[in-house]
Structure 1
Amino acid sequence: MIDPLIKSFLFTLATLLPFLNPPAIAPIFLSMTEGASPETRLMLAKKVGINVAIMLISTMLIGNGILMLFGISLPIVRLGGGMLIMYSAWNLVTASDDNSSGETDQTKSMSLEIANSRSFYPLTFPVTFGPGAIAGAITVGVSLIDEQLSIIALRLSGAIPAILLATFALYICMKFSSQMLNKLGKSGTAVFMRLSAFIMLCLGVQICWAGIQGLVNTFL
């Protein structure tokens, strides 16, 4: 009876980690919290980690039912989420590097106002918890279904720790994002963050394209 728990744990971890991709989120998180103090960045990392864990568990349990209730298909979710990711990435790609003036004011403003507003949008959704993670969580939710309640309970007991482990890895990468990129230097970090933003933009295009292909396939 332990076997379904282990299988569910491994399946959930293998399904969600590629979509969350914690190492790739680190430079994006750093660039989107530019001007924040280390304390504010740590607070944001905790909030994003908690938000993602709650969203993944909620989507796993009720996501498929909600989509069916409103008649929303996964291709539509991919298309809409991909567009949001493209919008956020474009803002990062085109952001000005000239932010040395008023750095103190920016840090204070980030600490008091902007940080909380950015903790969910866009840092949690759609940057971290995007269409891929939604689809992955729904897939995990479907895999929990079984005729025996004991099997469902075991699978759920394996899936939830896997989600918590994946989001903890995400939190660690965001928490130490600055240290991870310090060795690159100021100019190297700027280049790396621009490159990460461009990859994020390409990911948004790819997700949109997958949504479009899914919609086209429904008419074929």
Structure 2
Amino acid sequence: MEGSIGHAASVFAAFFAIMNPVANTPVFLSLTAGDDSTTRRQVALRGLALAFAIIVVFSLAGNLIFQVFGITLPAFRITGGLLVFLVGFHMVQGDTSKVQQPSAADAKASRQAALDVAIAPLAVPILAGPGTIATAINFSTNAGISGLVVTIAAFFALCVVSYGFFISGNRFVAYLGDNGIKIVTRIMGLILAVVGTQMVIAGVGGAVKLFQAG
């Protein structure tokens, strides 16, 4: 029993270190800057739900998916890194919504665009990125039913924790104000761009190793 608890704690800790909800909270706030609380909650819920679904799928059939589509983890890292870099670049530029005085139709479209952030880049690759997927595959592959259940349960618990962090972040928004959010947005944009670059470097390094091994 103690061994099972210890293993579950290890899996949770591994996921926590990679998905780090503490570090991702400012990123989430920057991505949803200007959104109302309802939209922010929906973005958090959608992003985490999609990330959870992705991890479940890869836990069940990760290696098979990669083999069927001829996908390698380095390629996934490079693509995800480029996406993160582009998001960070636009955040550094201080890009905001082009709809300053929206009509009812424009407001609806703008709201949908805000919700789309939950898919990319929040769910993929920030929450369910290459590292998170690789961790899920590592703990669930060849680990039996118990290992699969522990992996999925641990990630679900982390999603609940992350949702709490994201929603409590509203207090930071009220405290920082508009100017503070703009500053945080640019800082987090720079960090995201660097993280994206690092992901690309890791992906290129992995691709070189695969090429040398082949």
TM-score range, shorter chain: 0.7 to 0.9
- Displacement of 1:170 in angstroms is 1.4
In 2 relative to 1, CA 186–5 (structure 1 residues): closer, same or farther, beyond 3 Å? Answer: same
Preserved contact between residue 6 and residue 158 of structure 1 (Cα < 8 Å): no
State the alpha-carbon separation in 1 of the partners of residues 106 and 41 from structure 2: 14
Matches within 5 A, 1:105-184: 108-109=107-108, 112-142=111-141, 145-146=142-143, 152-184=144-176
- Opposite residue 17 of structure 1, the aligned amino acid is F
In 2 relative to 1, CA 77–164 (structure 1 residues): closer, same or farther, beyond 3 Å? Answer: same
In 2 relative to 1, CA 96–11 (structure 1 residues): closer, same or farther, beyond 3 Å? Answer: same
My pick for the range that moved more, 3-12 or 73-82, is 3-12
Residue number in structure 1 paired with 2:93: 94
State the alpha-carbon separation in 2 of the partners of residues 98 and 57 from structure 1: 34
Partner of 2:117: helix, strand, or coil? helix
- Displacement of 1:95 in angstroms is 2.4
Matches within 5 A, 1:29-108: 29-96=28-95, 101-102=100-101, 108=107
Q: Could you list the per-position Cα deviations for residues 6-44 of structure 1 after superposition, in whole angstroms to 9, with x for gaps in the alignment?
A: 244123212211221112222222222223211111111
Preserved contact between residue 42 and residue 115 of structure 2 (Cα < 8 Å): no
In 2 relative to 1, CA 106–10 (structure 1 residues): closer, same or farther, beyond 3 Å? Answer: farther
In 2 relative to 1, CA 213–122 (structure 1 residues): closer, same or farther, beyond 3 Å? Answer: same
Percent pairwise identity: 26
- Opposite residue 201 of structure 1, the aligned amino acid is A
State the alpha-carbon separation in 2 of the partners of residues 103 and 28 from structure 1: 26
- Corresponding position: 1:188 with 2:180: yes
- Opposite residue 135 of structure 1, the aligned amino acid is A
- Opposite residue 21 of structure 1, the aligned amino acid is N
State the alpha-carbon separation in 2 of the partners of residues 98 and 108 from structure 1: 11
Preserved contact between residue 139 and residue 147 of structure 2 (Cα < 8 Å): no
Q: Could you list the per-position Cα deviations for residues 166-188 of structure 1 after superposition, in whole angstroms to 9, with x for gaps in the alignment?
A: 11111112212221343334323
- Opposite residue 198 of structure 2, the aligned amino acid is Q
- Displacement of 1:103 in angstroms is 8.2
Residue number in structure 1 paired with 2:191: 199
Preserved contact between residue 18 and residue 131 of structure 2 (Cα < 8 Å): yes
State the alpha-carbon separation in 1 of the partners of residues 40 and 103 from structure 2: 15
Alignment length (residue pairs): 212
- Displacement of 1:118 in angstroms is 2.7
RMSD: 2.6
State the alpha-carbon separation in 1 of the partners of residues 207 and 97 from structure 2: 42
State the alpha-carbon separation in 1 of the partners of residues 151 and 145 from structure 2: 10
Residue number in structure 2 paired with 1:149: none
Preserved contact between residue 15 and residue 136 of structure 1 (Cα < 8 Å): yes
Preserved contact between residue 40 and residue 111 of structure 1 (Cα < 8 Å): no
- Displacement of 1:160 in angstroms is 2.2
- Displacement of 1:164 in angstroms is 0.9
5+ residue gaps, structure 1, are: 147-151
